[in-house]
Structure 1
Amino acid sequence: MSTSLLPQRIAFLGDYLPRLCGIATFTHDLSEAVASAAPDADCYVGAVNDRVEGYEYQQRVRFELLEKDLDSYRRAADFLNFNNADVLCVQHEFGIYGGPAGSHLLALLKEVRMPVVTTLHTILREPNTSQRKVMEELVRRSDRLVVMAHKGAEILRETYGVPDAKVDIIPHGIPDMPFVDSSFYKGQFGVEGRKVLLTFGLLGPGKGIEHVIEALPEIVRQHPNVVYLILGATHPQLVAREGERYRLSLERLAEERGVKEHVIFYNRFVSQEDLKEFIGATDIYLTPYLNEAQITSGTLAYVFGAGKAVVSTPYWHAQELLADGRGVLVPFRDPTAITAGVCGLLDDPPRKEKIRHDAYAMGREMIWPAVAQRYLESFQHARSDRKASPRAAFAGWTLASRPYDLPPLRLDHIVRMSDGTGIFQHAIFNVPNFHEGYCTDDNARAFILCNLLDELGGQPPAENLGKLATSYLAFLAAALDYTSGRFRNFMSHERRWLEEAGSEDSHARALWAAGTGAGRSRNDGHRRLAAQLFERGLAVVASFSSPRAWAFTLLGIHEYLRQSASNTAVNEARVVLTEKLVTLWKSCATEHWPWFEPSATYDNARLCQALIFSGQWMPHPEAFEIGLKSLRWLASIQKTQSGHFRPIGSNGFYQRDGARADFDQQPVEAQAMVSACLEAFRATQDPAWLREAKRAFEWFLGRNDLGLPLYDSSTGGCGDGLHHDRVNENQGAESTLAFQLSLAEMNCAEHLITDPLRPAV
């Protein structure tokens, strides 16, 4: 390939040392190796931070972005563009970027103008919906994809339709270590004369270390001089979530099995130089991982390339690396097989030595200098491809194609309206109105908002968001009458329920919120309680007569099924409620009135959205088409000649064959249209729906009949409605939540906007 295509400015993006994770180590090692292999190139790194204060980085790091701050991804793209990077090498793992399934990364990739080479550290054969959408967009926006095993290329081809010509198979890089006898290093660790078994890496339940400890009593019986060294700190995210519970459980297990004298825990993240010495002292390396779908293991690559005998469970990377007798594969979760594998090697030194020599020979292709050369070839290939099919550099910067400039998140008024009980219903201007108390409707909306914001990340801090979510969920739990299965709605400021059962609509909104918590929450307690509330309150909906209650429940069902797709009762309820809406449509809709009822009243777009969801995922093609057709009509009657959004007014609504009410326009109508149109876009990929969503969202910001904003950027609140002559200046919970939910959904959807300048794969 022509040397003219050698990049002179190479940018790397990923976690970076001193952050403690495998991707950080990989990004560091790769960037250093490429810098050494191309000494005339300017190699620099963009580091992804998982905390606001960042880290003390080396000079190689030129820019930083905050994992959960969407705007920082756009700023990073601007930095890369203005610094004229020749190629961007992205390290991809779903969990290191913000947004659902790491979707914030797409905001950066949409904006950068240089070729992109993406290294895939995880490739899922059975992704969930969010993961598939992100992966497909990531594939589309990358010029080259790097995988570390042939299995990765196979999955890309079979699951995502990626042509082999776009994929480079480059092994995980390893340091160049000498081939030495393990006894050379044992003295400094005080294990002279002992056989050392090693597992290293960030500690977590997926490592399967408990199965090795279960195997140790029999291994020690046959080889009393064995010691098992477990090297590595507990994963920081696991520590934050549950402390050292997993490590302590392993220590207790070793004591219970009588092998505590044969197990050493070294609870720290070691430097590469220290790691070389630990590996050097190893006789057999163990990777008893529990998940077959692990396409890459840096620890396995390190030890294998150093010429060590390996006993491993057959996850994908191990299957490939240890094939043809280059190691020992044992079944998952099988201590007896681990015993046989370890003792078989210890009992047969010539076999162990042959395995070592074969592994070391193959490992010469994996040392970082060799890997760096392969990456440079991939970078050249990406630049060649881009020259053959260039991106339109200037056309992409027009206002029409730049990301829509959304207001920053501001939750001051939500916090002001909330106390330990929940969120107040109403406000007098921007002051909570205690006299009106609380309601389930608004606490349900607020709980949904907290779950969406937690997925998006950014502000407010997670602990503040968690506190708000806890209050709102606790309100919903108190609202449910477990005897009747009905949610109450209204509560006084003195915390007295004002009715035995709320309306059908409020009950269904509570189910929608509970389903969202069950399907989305990352808080285990929240998720389990929300699922319980959803399951307890679902059965009574079959007797409801409100179409909006059916629709809200269907939205909750969709959320619940994110995590419990096989629940028979919930799936059956979806079928029943979907048929109710379809039957209602057929009984009322005409060519000139394609609607579910003789009048269009409130939260209208939710009926359409529910059928789009159910129609797509059941699947039910007829329901899906009804959802789109009714939403198309609704959009047409809520659009003025000048092109702005005009929701059906609540002062009379819109009766068939009658005049429609233009005022009082309610924020919930705009929010319902935003949600439904975004879902229509996700389902159809028709950009017209994005334009409709944007039109409805801009109603909040002043693109409306009066040209006045309802959203108050100084407080984060939203006016209660648009009258014929003024904005209702009271900033109640329903209205404020309608805006904040719309903003969250617009942020969630922004990265899904198709870039017409970039051809599909």
Structure 2
Amino acid sequence: MNKQLKVLFIGTYVPKECGIATFTFDLLNSVSGVHDDIHCEVIALNDPSETYNYPEEVVFQIERNKLEDYHRAADFINQSDADIVCLQHEFGLFWGNAGDYIFTLLSGINKPVITTMHTVIREPEPEYRASTEKLIRYSEKLVVMSQTAVDMLKDVYKVPDEKIEVIFHGLPDYPFNNCSKYKRMLNLKGSPLILTFGLLSQNKGIESMLEALPEVVSQYPDLIYLVLGATHPVVKKHNGEAYRDYLMKRVSELGLENNVVFHDKFVEKEELCTYILASDIYASPYLSREQIVSGALTYAIGMGKAIISTPYWYAQEMLSDSRGILVDFGDTDGFKNSLLYLIENPDECNNMRKKAYDFGRKMTWKNIGKEYNTVFTKALKNYNTYPRIQNRFNFLPNQLPEVKLDYLKLLTDDVGIIQHTNLGVPARHHGYSTDDVGRGLVALTQIIDSQEKAEELWKLITTYMSFLEHAQTDSGHFHNFMNYRREFLDKEGSEDTLGRAIYGLGHVVSCPYMSKNIRTFAHTLISKSKMQMEKLNYPRAKAYTMCGLYEMLRAGVGADDFESTFISRRDTVRSIDALVDKDTFQSIFISHADSLVDLYETNHKEGWNWFEPTVTYSNAKLSESLILAYNYTKNRTYRKVGLATLDFLTDIQWKGDFFDIVGNQGWYSCDGEKPIFDQQPIEAGYMTQAYVSAYETVRERKYLELARYSFEYFLGRNRLRTPMYDSSTGAVCDGLNCDGMNCNQGAESVICYLMALNSINKHSDRAYGTQFKPAIEEVLPKRKSLLSANQVE
């Protein structure tokens, strides 16, 4: 190969005491030993709260019950320079229904996957069939360790021949020897010494051997039966040592205390091999036929042991041609007679050992590594990355959905918008909020493009305006939360509440199709909030306020525009002093813009182009407010900061074909790790608006492309590839969680969806027309060039 091949293994790994951990370790070393230009690393699976001092090749760890870890592992793989992924699959390794957590990882990566199947089920339950069929789809190649497994994949799961590779379980390469020197090394007695090893569990069938021993021991009193291995950790967790205690009790009942030894220990590989080499006979009395592979049996074959086994699938195949003796499940007499035969016929026993040893030469780890490397090379040659990435979101529509207000109307009564729902049913006990009403006005006024549309939405808009008028306090601030009994629950809302109210009212003032009375009324409420706007401290409150004032200022609205109306309606206006001239609004607008720039200058640094040390909520609204400030003032500093911070949000959230929004489970600090969940749709809505504003300002095509992709987050262009928008009702799910969608569908979600849809609708011909040619690779430059291009002077 012309370049170093980099293989990333996924499985349990040493020092974890587990058969697959040992297998993964041996496989990695056999593959990396084939050529000097092969580099291997590991993603290790851990049980909950389990920690290990892993060797340096372990580069990532998954706590197997944490779905978020599988998402992060997928991200790690995509960002790594690994060429190929080699997955060790056993249903019990992974959490979920039939181990389906692993598909969170497999569905999110763009590398070829070679899967070693440690279990294949002939008659699967529905969930295991579904899991196996998914595994087959996500795997470029399936490696199995027996012809029996091949036949099952073809007959039961209809897997084509070209997708299946047979590579035996590997084993260490030891010379063919007698047992005496190894017995001396371990200070073992026993003539003969019979061995069964592996993690202890009921399916081992040890009791079958115990029942067979009394008659054999009566003839050969020096016989020792050594049961080597700790109890399986899962068995021990749920049942303690019940099985071991049962076996020891049975030993006592059968009078075998001098002939049966339990070595309760997980032995390392070198010590294990010494035990095998010291034994005369290996017994494998498993109780289940559905055993498709056994590392223990493989080692015994490769080290030239005389073997007695039950006829499970793997044993039937490996011990054919007189390489061992098969005894029916639970057949005590069969085990007894087989033991006596091997003890009393040493020449036949030795021939059997030699046949097993010779067969095992093809299974040495050196040869297994070469075979895996051949499979990796074939898979890489046939794998085409591009179609897989492109097809991840092939379910998305090729045009924008129509504006649908059914669900917003469902949530609106004669008071306002009910905040939350239970599975789409309005939850009245949660009441109403000014936050939702303010943003609702933005969504509605954006839709109005004619006098007829204004008349259609007049009832909704006047209801929302009435709510805000009632929510406004004497000081000009706003209450936020109202219960269903129409009682406000706070003295006043947060600064963000004030900003969101001004945001909505500003859109009403600037809407040319609204009646002058309604626009005047909105202006009155804004004017009354002048002093509150001037003393805002929080950046998002300032950004919301700026977005509202921008609408009013760009429409050229000041006190003079409405003076005659106010004079004729003095009886309904509480104070003519509430009227504020245009210069005052400009002053507030520019002051807030300057403060955001100052905040950016204080906190941004290399690799962190943001206003604060943490990216939290409503993020794109901060960037958009400065882009709008540039549009109004033509101050280029506002544009530079607005675009730099918007590009930074893109940089940390765009995954190449979807947006992975900063979750609110801890937010994202400059010195921390970005949380994946709980993702909120409001962020996608605000990003869409900000990208549209950026496109309208600088006319760079990438912003329109990004606006389309961020809007499509609602339609399924997200980490889970699941639509949040329900086209039949117009509802939007409330969040993206590690285990799926938050099925509640509140007011905030649908309002932010509508705002995003309205924004991109203005450019639907370019965003979804025939001239739209997505260039994902060109949408976002690399971080270094992005930061340097947008760095504020």
Output the TM-score relative to the length of structure 1: 0.53
Q: Map 1:706-721; keep pairs closer than 5 Å.
A: none
- 2:39 aligns with 42
Shift of 1:7: 6.1
Counterpart Cα distance in 1 of 2:151 and 2:354: 29
- Would you say 1:335 and 2:343 are equivalent positions? no
The 3 A distance-change label for structure 1 pair 170 and 698 is: farther
- 1:308 aligns with 305
Q: Map 1:203-222; keep pairs closer than 5 Å.
A: 203-222=200-219
The 3 A distance-change label for structure 1 pair 258 and 44 is: same
* Contact 2:209-2:332 within 8 A present in 1 as well: yes
Counterpart Cα distance in 1 of 2:346 and 2:135: 47
Counterpart Cα distance in 1 of 2:284 and 2:82: 39
* Contact 1:712-1:718 within 8 A present in 2 as well: no
The 3 A distance-change label for structure 1 pair 69 and 183 is: same
- 2:194 aligns with 197
The residue type paired with residue 185 of structure 1 is Y
- 2:269 aligns with 272
Q: Map 1:170-319; keep pairs closer than 5 Å.
A: 170-192=167-189, 194-319=191-316
Shift of 1:72: 1.2
Shift of 1:191: 3.3
SS of alignment partner, residue 364 of structure 1: helix
The residue type paired with residue 162 of structure 1 is V
Counterpart Cα distance in 2 of 1:160 and 1:692: 27
The partner residue of 1:120 within 113, 117, 122 is 117
- 2:100 aligns with 103
Counterpart Cα distance in 2 of 1:711 and 1:373: 44
Q: Map 1:34-183; keep pairs closer than 5 Å.
A: 34-183=31-180
The partner residue of 1:352 within 333, 349, 352 is 349
The residue type paired with residue 325 of structure 2 is V
Shift of 1:188: 3.6
* Contact 1:199-1:231 within 8 A present in 2 as well: yes
Counterpart Cα distance in 1 of 2:16 and 2:721: 41
* Contact 1:176-1:367 within 8 A present in 2 as well: yes
Shift of 1:194: 2.1
Shift of 1:717: 11
Shift of 1:698: 12
* Contact 1:7-1:379 within 8 A present in 2 as well: no
Counterpart Cα distance in 2 of 1:129 and 1:311: 35
- 2:364 aligns with 367
The 3 A distance-change label for structure 1 pair 239 and 717 is: same
The 3 A distance-change label for structure 1 pair 165 and 55 is: same
- 1:15 aligns with 12
The residue type paired with residue 320 of structure 1 is E
The 3 A distance-change label for structure 1 pair 218 and 60 is: same
Q: Map 1:580-595; keep pairs closer than 5 Å.
A: none
Shift of 1:85: 1.3
Counterpart Cα distance in 1 of 2:154 and 2:342: 37
Deviations 1:676-697 (A, max 9, x none): xxxxxxxxxxx9xx99984459
* Contact 1:7-1:86 within 8 A present in 2 as well: no
* Contact 2:48-2:65 within 8 A present in 1 as well: no
SS of alignment partner, residue 41 of structure 2: strand
Deviations 1:707-728 (A, max 9, x none): 8969999xx99999989x99xx
Which structure is higher in RCO with an 8 Å CA cutoff and minimum separation 6? 1
SS of alignment partner, residue 260 of structure 1: coil
The 3 A distance-change label for structure 1 pair 283 and 130 is: same
Shift of 1:192: 3.8
Shift of 1:110: 1.2
Q: Map 1:615-694; keep pairs closer than 5 Å.
A: 694=724
Counterpart Cα distance in 2 of 1:39 and 1:263: 47
- 1:591 aligns with none
The 3 A distance-change label for structure 1 pair 398 and 128 is: closer
Any gaps of 5 or more consecutive residues in structure 1?
Answer: 402-425, 431-643, 645-686, 727-761
Counterpart Cα distance in 2 of 1:194 and 1:241: 37
Counterpart Cα distance in 1 of 2:273 and 2:233: 23
Shift of 1:396: 4.4
Counterpart Cα distance in 2 of 1:102 and 1:712: 19
The 3 A distance-change label for structure 1 pair 24 and 720 is: closer
* Contact 1:90-1:117 within 8 A present in 2 as well: yes
The residue type paired with residue 126 of structure 1 is E
SS of alignment partner, residue 88 of structure 1: strand
Q: Give the share of equivalent positions with the same residue, in percent.
A: 39
Shift of 1:336: 0.9
The residue type paired with residue 149 of structure 1 is S
Shift of 1:265: 0.5
The 3 A distance-change label for structure 1 pair 95 and 222 is: same
Moved over 6 A (4+): 426-430, 690-693, 710-713, 716-723
The 3 A distance-change label for structure 1 pair 301 and 691 is: closer
The residue type paired with residue 227 of structure 2 is I
Counterpart Cα distance in 2 of 1:712 and 1:34: 38
* Contact 1:222-1:343 within 8 A present in 2 as well: no
The residue type paired with residue 165 of structure 1 is E
The 3 A distance-change label for structure 1 pair 709 and 395 is: closer
Deviations 1:40-90 (A, max 9, x none): 222101101112343211111011111111121121111111112111110
Deviations 1:297-343 (A, max 9, x none): 00000111000110000001100110010100000011111111111
Counterpart Cα distance in 1 of 2:110 and 2:171: 31
The 3 A distance-change label for structure 1 pair 242 and 427 is: farther
- 1:583 aligns with none
Counterpart Cα distance in 2 of 1:73 and 1:161: 28
* Contact 2:10-2:45 within 8 A present in 1 as well: yes
Counterpart Cα distance in 2 of 1:37 and 1:708: 51
Structure (1 or 2) with the larger CA radius of gyration: 2
SS of alignment partner, residue 151 of structure 2: helix
Output the TM-score relative to the length of structure 2: 0.51
- 1:572 aligns with none
* Contact 1:219-1:343 within 8 A present in 2 as well: yes
Counterpart Cα distance in 2 of 1:79 and 1:240: 32
Any gaps of 5 or more consecutive residues in structure 2?
Answer: 398-426, 432-684, 686-716, 752-793
The residue type paired with residue 41 of structure 1 is I
SS of alignment partner, residue 382 of structure 2: helix
Counterpart Cα distance in 2 of 1:34 and 1:717: 44
The 3 A distance-change label for structure 1 pair 316 and 193 is: closer
The residue type paired with residue 164 of structure 1 is D
The 3 A distance-change label for structure 1 pair 234 and 708 is: closer
* Contact 2:170-2:365 within 8 A present in 1 as well: yes
Identify which range, 286-295 or 215-224, moves more after superposition. 215-224
The 3 A distance-change label for structure 1 pair 108 and 205 is: same
The 3 A distance-change label for structure 1 pair 396 and 322 is: same
* Contact 2:62-2:70 within 8 A present in 1 as well: yes
Shift of 1:218: 1.3
The alignment's C-alpha RMSD in Å is 3.4
